[in-house]
Structures are given as structure tokens and as C-alpha cells.
């Protein structure tokens, strides 16, 4: 599983969601719950059957190992859904939406068995999560130093300021994800 980070492009996607009709997976993101749950759960259950994983829980987006970004946004209107649960249906009112990026689809081949962190091609974070591939020039370890004042520099702006802002937002995302997981266990 990759370390999840705040991503401003994912925030732009979230801002495009204007109504409950927009609550669906996009080409490069997935919504947290309630949209096409049956499809996602069927793929998850196939993985559970073919692996050493003995969990029979329903699929949750935060289980998906290829997500690299996350954002949570309050909705201007609440949306009511009838989510898939263990044998029953009930109504749930959502007042926020959580988007995970950057994959809009899932497949059985996306899930792998093995010890946690055993298949991280870019190495591990301090928390034992896989290092996600970079999405921005500012995340690259060796950015190009060609020509001061280049278009690339103008687009990335003050790199240190952006890194500090991302670090702050990443901390908030970690807190939000931890809180969601904790609330789901209660």
C-alpha cells in the first residue's frame, strides 16, 4: 500500500462535484463509498478467496493498494444512499466526499499477497508504506537545473513554500484517514 498524500489536482476534481448525481468514480479517482459497491466488493471477494487473506469484510476504498492521493471535502448538500451491507439495506446520509487517486478502476490483478510492504519497487516510507511514484516536478529528487527563470521554474513557483504547504496538508490527510478508520471500528 502506498503512502497517501494530499494532491491539489485531486482537490480540483473534488471541486467539480456539484450534486449527488456527480457521486461516481472518475477516470483518475474513485469515491470512498456507495458508488458501484457491488463491483468493487466482487473483485475484493475474489482476491480474498485466492489469497491467504481470510478477511470476509466488504471492500473499502482505503484497502486499495494503488491509491497514492486522498482528499476529503464537505458537501454543500447532503446525499442519501442505500449502501451495500451484510445482508441488509439502510439509508445513509453523506455530508462529505472522499476521493482517492489516481486510478478510476480496480482489477483483481491490482491486489497482491505477501507480507506488508514486500512489493514496494520504490522502497518504503518511515511508516513502512510503499513510496508512491512522483506526480509533480517538485517531488523529484533531482529536478532539472536548466536555465534560471525557465517556464518549468515559473510553473512550480517557490519549491520550498510548496513543499511546506504539502507537508502541512499531508499531516491533515493522515489525521483524517486515521479518524475515519477509527470511526469505522466503533
Which residue would you say has higher pLDDT here, 103 or 143? 103
pLDDT digits (tens, 9 = 90+) for 69-128: 777 777 777 777 665 554 555 666 666 777 777 765 566 666 666 776 777 888 888 888
- Give the domain range for residue 77: 8-185
Residue 180 falls inside a structural domain: yes
3-state helix, strand, coil split of the chain in percent (to 5) is 35, 15, 50
> What is the per-residue pLDDT for 137?
36
pLDDT digits (tens, 9 = 90+) for 3-24: 777 888 888 877 887 777 776 6
97 close to 23: Cβ distance less than 8 angstroms: yes
Q: What percentage of the chain has pLDDT greater than the value 90?
A: 0
Residue 168 falls inside a structural domain: yes
Residue 1 falls inside a structural domain: no
Q: How far is residue 186's CA from residue 177's CA, in Å, rounded to a whole number?
A: 15
Which residue would you say has higher pLDDT here, 86 or 183? 183
Report the predicted TM-score, pTM, of the whole model to 2 decimal places: 0.49
Residue 46 falls inside a structural domain: yes
Asked if the model's pLDDT at residue 172 lies above 60, the reply is no
Residue 12 falls inside a structural domain: yes
Instruction: Supply angle C-alpha 176, 62, 70, rounded to 5.
Output: 50
Which residue would you say has higher pLDDT here, 172 or 101? 101
How many domains is the chain partitioned into structurally? 1
pLDDT-based confidence at residue 151 (cuts at 50, 70, 90): very low
Residue 57 falls inside a structural domain: yes
Q: How far is residue 153's CA from residue 46's CA, in Å, rounded to a whole number?
A: 47
Amino acid at each position: 500500500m502506498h503512502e497517501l498524500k494530499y494532491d491539489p489536482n485531486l482537490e480540483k476534481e473534488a471541486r467539480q462535484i456539484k450534486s449527488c448525481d456527480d457521486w461516481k468514480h472518475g477516470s483518475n479517482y474513485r469515491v470512498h463509498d456507495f458508488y458501484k459497491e457491488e463491483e468493487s466488493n466482487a473483485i475484493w471477494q475474489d482476491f480474498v478467496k485466492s489469497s491467504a487473506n481470510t478477511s470476509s469484510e466488504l471492500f473499502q476504498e482505503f484497502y486499495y493498494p494503488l491509491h497514492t492521493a486522498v482528499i476529503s471535502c464537505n458537501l454543500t448538500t447532503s446525499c442519501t444512499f442505500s449502501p451495500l451491507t451484510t445482508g441488509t439495506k439502510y439509508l445513509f446520509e453523506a455530508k462529505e466526499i472522499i476521493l482517492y487517486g489516481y486510478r478510476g478502476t480496480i482489477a483483481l490483478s491490482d491486489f497482491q499477497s505477501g507480507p506488508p510492504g514486500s512489493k514496494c519497487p520504490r522502497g518504503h516510507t518511515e511508516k513502512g508504506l510503499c513510496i508512491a511514484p512522483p506526480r509533480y516536478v517538485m517531488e523529484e529528487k533531482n529536478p532539472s537545473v536548466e536555465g534560471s527563470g525557465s517556464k518549468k521554474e515559473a510553473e512550480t513557483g517557490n519549491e520550498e513554500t510548496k513543499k511546506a504547504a504539502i507537508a502541512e496538508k499531508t499531516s491533515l490527510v493522515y489525521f483524517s484517514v486515521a479518524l475515519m478508520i477509527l470511526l469505522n471500528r466503533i
